[in-house]
A and B are shown apart, each in its own frame.
Chain A
Amino acid sequence: MKAEDKKPSRRERLAKKIKTNLSMTVRELFEQIDEDRSRPKAMAYFDSIFKNFTGGGENVVQVPEGQKVIGTYCVFVPEELVYAAGAHPVRLCAGTYESSEVGEEYLPDVACPMVKSEMGLETMPILDFYQKCDLVALPGSCHWKLKMAEMLEERKPVHVLDVPRIKERENSRQYWLEEVKNFKAAVEKTTGTRITRKTLKGAIRTVQAAQVEVHRFFELRKAIPAPILGRDALAVMNAYFYDDVSRWAAALAELNDELEQRIAEGVHVAPASSARILLTGSPMVFPNWKVPMIIEDLGGVLVADEFCTSQRYLSDMVAMDEGTLNDMMMAIAERYVLPCSCPMFSNTLERRDKLLQLIEEAQVEGVIYHILKGCHPYDIELKMMEKLMQDKGIPMLKIETDYSPQDVEQLRTRIEAFQETLRGRRRVQ
């Protein structure tokens, strides 16, 4: 009996192998990233989170003994409620190719790579914080996520949030408010702490303070020439998934100060001649930096993005009005759904306006629309966005890919040609 305990099972061996592969991917990625000598110094903090990603990483979900960890997916889980209950939220949306194979055991071939990757991480001991969660909050935003919740239910406590698809209606808003209240109850049950007016207000303030830096960051990114690469910006926002909110915000404030100084001194990461590109579409999570790495290696620069893992995640703030618990709950509920430009909603109005606004403000020359194979919501909206860009005369490149490194060369060729087009357009103008 004892001997058997010591001997790792087949599954454990597999998990270990995946973990080793993942560490190697991360190391290789950083070898490439570190080649760039013009990166802001303040990026070191965010690198420390990712460099030792598999080993738990510095600042990755470091919680004191006894503090509860609540895993979240998508952009619809109100984190203020988690903070108010004294728990630590960690966003579990994943970008690891290595774990996808495990996920395929549970999901059909056509499932999106993100949900495959997540299923792998949820069911195998690869990354610590997936196993640490005392509760996993899963919004039923797309059907992959909704069914994933059901598959996970037998393994760990799961709370599903049903996000209404039509946000312009009174009944959907009431329904969503009830859903947020249900989530509050679930968090209270998990943590054993009651969320009060005071704790909730404090939590809102904490998140708002971080968002102030986020706003500053996205403003600074728009400068010409670009003071920071888009992949680094994605990493900064991605680090929020795992880090403590206030510590992260302080690190971002430091980065912002450095970027401000860079802009004043004219220090840049890409010359003014680089094509200014906006990236949108299916989310990108570390270490799936495939597309941004290619774009920026080829001399382009990502000056804006419209991802739920980045801009969309933290842009909108809770607006408090009267300060009662109910009022705050309503403000929180509305903040997570109403201004959200996720394609799961019935209209594309918010997304159109957001894209056009970003394009104008960041002086974007071309848009790259990233679709993960099997990510239906973004796939469905493609044609509409294509038409919008055509009408506005902005070149757009569609890239359909997954987490595997197989198509890198092919993507490189297409992105190179696209950037050549953008440069050609500039010469004509």
Chain B
Amino acid sequence: MNVQRLRLISQFVFFVLLTYGGLFAIDLGSRMPTFSCAFVPDNGGSCFLIGFQHMLSRPLPEFLGEQGIRLLKSLGIVALWAVVINKAWCGWICPFGLMQDLLTRLRNLVFIDMSRFGWVTRKRYKSVKYILLALLILIPLGIGNGVPGLSRDWTAPFCQMCPARPLMPLFRGDFSEFHIDFSSWPGLALTTIAVILVGLLFTSAFVKRRFLCSYCPMLAVLSLFDKVGFLSLNKDGQKCTRCGNCSRACPMEIREIEEEKTLSNLVTQDCILCLKCIDACPENQALEARFLGMPIYTASAEGFLKRQNVDLLRLKRKKKR
């Protein structure tokens, strides 16, 4: 079975589960580390960020009591989710990732070329997701503690600017979130950004793969579990020829996967565990994905040929001379 097809199926299944699950009385809770938007009516499980931001907008002393315990409990659930399949949330589940992957497939169908970041630019943008993460923690804390200038209009600032909020409810026929909020300045700014990001989602997919993921604060959260997560992406540097196939195939344009010769676990900051690097690797056992140390997908010369669709029939005894 082609792993990329399997991944697409998984993304689809989770998209349906998370977007329409409520209709079938499925509820995976509201502490999920993935962009299944809480604004989707009857969702089957939703993103933890909205609750997280609300919980944070309290006066600091409250965190020493019950509120702190509630926060820790909530984060504990997120951590549990994250440890089990760490970055596979991004590559295999996230509905927003599915949108981007589908658009990329559409782009491939019509043979539109993609572009890549320069190496330096790519590196520079890495910090954006941490800045966003810091802001989505600091702004609610500021609101709860009366920092001047931060009114209630800033409530859940990340959700206000997140493109999933206007987009995802559309799949349930709910257009109410697809708007720009003119009621306040912060609302106007943040909701405008959200709508622009929706536009960017559709346009950027025709230029780059997984463009928005590079800036996603959820990736920053999940990357805390890179080294402790049950899923790992391992490399045997000795077997690697540094042919660069992996980093060329990588939708997140990660260079370490190709350059690293000594490090074993290569779930890096931006890795989304889509395993396209293993697809592209022609060297036996050079790359391997493991779950709790057990190999689940290993690079092989044979598999590489299969995925490259090399037409072996072409060789079928072409009459010599």
Chain A residues in the interface with B (C-beta under 8 A): 45, 48, 58-59, 168, 170, 197, 205-206, 208-210, 212-213, 215, 246-247, 249-251, 253-254, 316-317, 319-327, 330-331, 334-335, 338-339, 349-350, 353-354, 356-357
Q: For residue A236, give the distance in angstroms from its CB to the closest CB of chain B.
A: 14
Contacts of B113-145 to chain A: CB distance below 8 A: 113-114, 118-120
Q: Which listed residue, B113, B114, B244, B318, touches A246 by the CB 8 Å rule?
A: B318
B311 part of interface (Cβ distance < 8 Å)? yes
B5 part of interface (Cβ distance < 8 Å)? no
Q: Digit string of B215-251 for contact with A (CB within 8 Å is 1, else 0)?
A: 0000000000000000000000111111111001100
Q: Which listed residue, A170, A205, A322, touches B118 by the CB 8 Å rule?
A: A170
- Cβ–Cβ < 8 Å partners of B238 in chain A: 353, 356-357
A-B contact pairs, 13 of them (CB 8 A): A45-B321, A170-B119, A205-B309, A209-B310, A212-B305, A212-B312, A212-B315, A316-B243, A323-B108, A327-B114, A331-B245, A334-B245, A349-B261
Q: For residue A303, give the distance in angstroms from its CB to the closest CB of chain B.
A: 19
* CB pair B304 A319 closer than 8 Å: yes
* CB pair A208 B308 closer than 8 Å: yes
Give the residue name and chain of the B residue nearest to A316 (CB): B243
Closest 10 interchain pairs by CB?
A: A339-B243, A339-B241, A319-B245, A250-B318, A338-B244, A170-B119, A208-B310, A326-B113, A209-B314, A334-B244
Q: For residue B201, give the distance in angstroms from its CB to the closest CB of chain A.
A: 19
* CB pair A319 B282 closer than 8 Å: yes
* CB pair B111 A331 closer than 8 Å: no
- Cβ–Cβ < 8 Å partners of B249 in chain A: 319, 321
* CB pair A319 B315 closer than 8 Å: no
* CB pair A339 B314 closer than 8 Å: no
Q: Which listed residue, A317, A323, A353, touches B282 by the CB 8 Å rule?
A: A317
* CB pair B312 A321 closer than 8 Å: no
Q: For residue A52, give the distance in angstroms from its CB to the closest CB of chain B.
A: 14
Question: Whole-angstrom distance between the alpha carbons of A330 and B114 in the complex?
Answer: 12
- Range, interface on chain B: 35 or more
* CB pair A253 B315 closer than 8 Å: yes
- Cβ–Cβ < 8 Å partners of B28 in chain A: none
Contacts of B197-222 to chain A: CB distance below 8 A: none
Residue among B240, B282, B309, B312 with max Cβ neighbours from chain A (10 Å): B282
Residue among B249, B259, B319 with max Cβ neighbours from chain A (10 Å): B249
B112 part of interface (Cβ distance < 8 Å)? yes
Q: For residue A242, give the distance in angstroms from its CB to the closest CB of chain B.
A: 14
- Given A197-B111, A212-B310, A331–B248 Cβ distance below 8 Å? yes
- Cβ–Cβ < 8 Å partners of B321 in chain A: 45, 48, 58-59, 247
Q: Digit string of B67-90 for contact with A (CB within 8 Å is 1, else 0)?
A: 000000000000000000000000
- Given A170-B118, A323-B111, A338–B243 Cβ distance below 8 Å? yes
Q: Digit string of B247-267 for contact with A (CB within 8 Å is 1, else 0)?
A: 011000000000101000000
Q: Beyond the given A205-B309, A249-B318, could you list 8 further A-B residue pairs with CB under 8 A, ordered by the A residue number? A: A170-B119, A206-B314, A250-B320, A319-B245, A334-B248, A338-B241, A349-B242, A353-B237
Question: Whole-angstrom distance between the alpha carbons of A354 and B245 in the complex?
Answer: 17
* CB pair A338 B242 closer than 8 Å: yes
- Cβ–Cβ < 8 Å partners of A58 in chain B: 321
* CB pair A316 B241 closer than 8 Å: yes
- Cβ–Cβ < 8 Å partners of A168 in chain B: 259
- Given A246-B318, A254-B320, A324-B111, A350–B310 Cβ distance below 8 Å? no
Question: Whole-angstrom distance between the alpha carbons of A301 and B36 in the complex?
Answer: 63
Question: Whole-angstrom distance between the alpha carbons of A298 and B259 in the complex?
Answer: 43
- Cβ–Cβ < 8 Å partners of B248 in chain A: 319, 321, 330-331, 334
- Given A323-B111, A334-B248, A209–B320 Cβ distance below 8 Å? no
* CB pair A324 B113 closer than 8 Å: yes
- Cβ–Cβ < 8 Å partners of A205 in chain B: 309-311, 314
Q: For residue A130, give the distance in angstroms from its CB to the closest CB of chain B.
A: 23
B6 part of interface (Cβ distance < 8 Å)? no
* CB pair A319 B280 closer than 8 Å: yes
- Given A58-B321, A59-B321, A209–B312 Cβ distance below 8 Å? yes
Q: Digit string of B286-321 for contact with A (CB within 8 Å is 1, else 0)?
A: 000000000000000100110011111011011111
Question: Whole-angstrom distance between the alpha carbons of A195 and B241 in the complex?
Answer: 29
- Cβ–Cβ < 8 Å partners of B314 in chain A: 205-206, 209, 246
Question: Whole-angstrom distance between the alpha carbons of A169 and B257 in the complex?
Answer: 15
- Cβ–Cβ < 8 Å partners of A330 in chain B: 248
Q: For residue A75, give the distance in angstroms from its CB to the closest CB of chain B.
A: 14
Residue among B112, B305, B319 with max Cβ neighbours from chain A (10 Å): B305
Q: Which listed residue, B118, B119, B320, touches A251 by the CB 8 Å rule?
A: B320
Residue among B119, B249, B314 with max Cβ neighbours from chain A (10 Å): B314
- Cβ–Cβ < 8 Å partners of B301 in chain A: 215
Give the residue name and chain of the A residue nearest to B282 (CB): A317
- Cβ–Cβ < 8 Å partners of A334 in chain B: 243-245, 248
Question: Whole-angstrom distance between the alpha carbons of A21 and B320 in the complex?
Answer: 31
Question: Whole-angstrom distance between the alpha carbons of A147 and B315 in the complex?
Answer: 39
